[in-house]
Amino acid sequence: MSGLVSSDALNKYFLLSVTLILSLCYSTLERRSTASPSVIVIGAGFAGIAAARALHDAAFQVILLESRDRIGGRVHTDYSFGFPVDLGYNGVCKDNPLAPVIGRLGLPLYRTSGDNSVLYDHDLESYALFDMEGNQVSQDLTDHIRQEFSEDMSIQRAISIVFERRPDLRLEGLGHKVLQWYLCRMEGCIGFCSSTCGRVASWWAWPNGPGYLPVVNTLAKGLDIRLGHRVTKIVRRYNGVKVTVEDGRTFLADAAVVAVPLGVLKSNCIKFEPRLPEWKESAINDLGVGIENKIILHFEKVFWPNVEFLGVVAETSYECSYFLNLHKATGHAVLVYMPAGQLARDIEKMSDEVAANFAFTQLKRILPNASAPIQYLVSHWGTDKNSLGSYSYDTVGKPHDLYERLRVPVDNLFFAGEATSTDYPGSVHGAYSTGLMAAEDCKMRVLERYGELDLFQPVMGEEVPISVPLLISRM
């Protein structure tokens, strides 16, 4: 009879349906048990690599998007002299989270002369200060000033105490210049030495032998890193993130770790949708970004004293500067001129050749018989759009919780990087620790949510622009 179905056919239809439903359930269960949560990490500096490493090791699916054509960020070892020199990062304090990684790699550690910050409690035997006429500053005078600075206190306070107690030291002439030099040195170290090494530094690893590339490479081993992927937009929803890169491609995941420099966040070249909350935006705006650069001069032979630093003292802190003597630690005839603050900004406007000449002119002022360098390298951390600054500092008169506010997650967005470290801002070990912290927060948050979510699995990776949605994301 038309319109009626036999019981045999009904049974067959029933069996077929049950089989289909069971197989669907099975495949869903199978996917649930095998698929793992997904995270996009943005920025392959120490913070991003540390976060990606930790999440990868915890069996998360991780993609690391990096705008440059290399990893490491502000840790950058250059080999063009035929031996490694670091254009960013100089060293690592022994008692900090990175030291075990360095130790496992067997990299040589070079002990600097001071157990504390070079600003506050440094062994002045490792310094040779010169005025602009090439006269070496007497050790007595620097020792004298140093005694007044022996307490652990802010440099501003120390200066006013010295002046109150010893009006005769109200620094004129050479004394004034030496003080300016200290201020200049502080500017170079701002947000870094005072908070970081003042407490923990006693040993430093120097670019002796292989530089820092092995450390970065070891941490990054086996990670899915996409170089040349500049992130321009991050959309967050209750159930995932969508990250867009410069050429329009998009990536989906359960969560994202934002590990780009503070300067990049300040420039607003990454759009957040919806906007970040006001407390987060104000932390980004209120924290400062300082600039310190390196002009690395390679000479045929050594002609300078065997000290760690050669300081140039002058009337104003702007004119003061210093050279880091790499020969002491590495055996190569290399001096590193390290301008900071406004001087660094001004030098970044010069061509590399003019900048190298400027550094050499400074050297000639203090060592008139200096011979010209045979090679040079110049960093541009302030204008490089991948960094837009060297490191963060907290500005006077702003709230004290800015670093913490920068770190605190917003929904499924986690933040890492030196500028999110309350303990060691402005440092590599600070960046590294915050990467681990962001990974831990992210793991907890995503796993917590993962259990609650619907049957569909997260989709990880590049979004494919097709009309029929074969992949179902949580977005």
Ligand X SMILES: Cc1cc2nc3c(=O)[nH]c(=O)nc-3n(C[C@H](O)[C@H](O)[C@H](O)COP(=O)(O)OP(=O)(O)OC[C@H]3O[C@@H](n4cnc5c(N)ncnc54)[C@H](O)[C@@H]3O)c2cc1C
Q: Which is nearer to ligand X, 48 or 84 (CB)?
A: 48
Give min distance, CB of 14 to ligand X, in A: 55
How many residues sit in the footprint of ligand X (CB under 6 A)? Answer: 39
Q: Which is nearer to ligand X, 91 or 288 (CB)?
A: 91
Residue 231 as a binder of ligand X (CB under 6 A): the answer is yes
Rounded distance between C-alpha atoms, residue 434 and residue 417, angstroms: 6
Query: Would you call 314 helix, strand, or coil by DSSP?
Result: coil
Which 272-331 residues touch ligand X, going by CB under 6 A?
292, 294
Residue 348 as a binder of ligand X (CB under 6 A): the answer is no
Residue from 186, 241, 256, 260 touching ligand X (CB under 6 A): that is 260
Residue from 75, 107, 296, 459 touching ligand X (CB under 6 A): that is 75
- Only segment of 68-76, 152-160, 272-280, 394-402 that touches ligand X (CB under 6 A): 68-76
Q: Which is nearer to ligand X, 218 or 239 (CB)?
A: 218
Number of other residues whose CB lies within 10 A of the CB of residue 161: 14
Number of other residues whose CB lies within 10 A of the CB of residue 268: 10
- Only segment of 63-71, 106-114, 117-125, 158-166 that touches ligand X (CB under 6 A): 63-71
Q: Which is nearer to ligand X, 46 or 323 (CB)?
A: 46
Q: Which is nearer to ligand X, 412 or 433 (CB)?
A: 433
Residue 339 as a binder of ligand X (CB under 6 A): the answer is no
What's CA 111's distance to the chain center, in Å? 23
Give min distance, CB of 142 to ligand X, in A: 23
Residue from 261, 288, 373, 382 touching ligand X (CB under 6 A): that is 261
Q: Is 326 in contact with 400 (CB distance < 8 Å)?
A: no
Residue 436 as a binder of ligand X (CB under 6 A): the answer is no
Rounded distance between C-alpha atoms, residue 244 and residue 4, angstroms: 56
Residue 359 as a binder of ligand X (CB under 6 A): the answer is no
Torsion (CA) 123, 128, 129, 131 in degrees, nearest 10: 170
DSSP H stretches of helix in 287-336: 326-330
Residue 74 as a binder of ligand X (CB under 6 A): the answer is yes
52 to 59, 69, 220, 239, 403: CA distances (angstroms):
11, 18, 8, 20, 21
Residue from 66, 187, 348, 441 touching ligand X (CB under 6 A): that is 66
Residue from 39, 40, 41, 47 touching ligand X (CB under 6 A): that is 47
- Only segment of 129-137, 148-156, 355-363, 425-433 that touches ligand X (CB under 6 A): 425-433
CB crowding 48-71: b at 16 or more within 10 Å, else e? bbbbbbbbbebebbbbbbbbbeeb
Place of tokens 């870094």: 192
Residue from 37, 43, 240, 341 touching ligand X (CB under 6 A): that is 43
DSSP 86-143: ESS----BTTSTTHHHHHHHT---B--S-SS-TTTS--GGGEEEE-TTSPBPPHHHHH
Site string for ligand X, 388-417 (x = CB under 6 A): --xx-------------------------x
Number of other residues whose CB lies within 10 A of the CB of residue 408: 15
- Only segment of 26-34, 85-93, 121-129, 367-375 that touches ligand X (CB under 6 A): 85-93
Residue from 39, 40, 44, 255 touching ligand X (CB under 6 A): that is 44
Rounded distance between C-alpha atoms, residue 132 and residue 319, angstroms: 10
- Only segment of 54-62, 250-258, 259-267, 350-358 that touches ligand X (CB under 6 A): 259-267
DSSP H stretches of helix in 380-427: 402-407
Q: Which is nearer to ligand X, 54 or 179 (CB)?
A: 54
Rounded distance between C-alpha atoms, residue 1 and residue 225, angstroms: 65
Query: Would you call 237 helix, strand, or coil by DSSP?
Result: strand
- Only segment of 3-11, 73-81, 274-282, 443-451 that touches ligand X (CB under 6 A): 73-81
Q: Is 267 in contact with 388 (CB distance < 8 Å)?
A: yes
Give min distance, CB of 466 to ligand X, in A: 26
Residue from 431, 442, 446, 460 touching ligand X (CB under 6 A): that is 431
Residue 67 as a binder of ligand X (CB under 6 A): the answer is yes
Residue 213 as a binder of ligand X (CB under 6 A): the answer is no
Extract the tokens encoding 384: 């490089």
Q: Is 158 left (phi over 0), alpha (psi -120 to 50) or beta?
A: alpha
**Short-list 225, 245, 221, 224, CA closest to 233:** 245
Residue 90 as a binder of ligand X (CB under 6 A): the answer is yes
Residues that bind ligand X (CB under 6 A): 42-48, 65-68, 73-75, 88-91, 230-231, 259-261, 264, 270, 292, 294, 381, 386-387, 390-391, 417-418, 426-429, 431
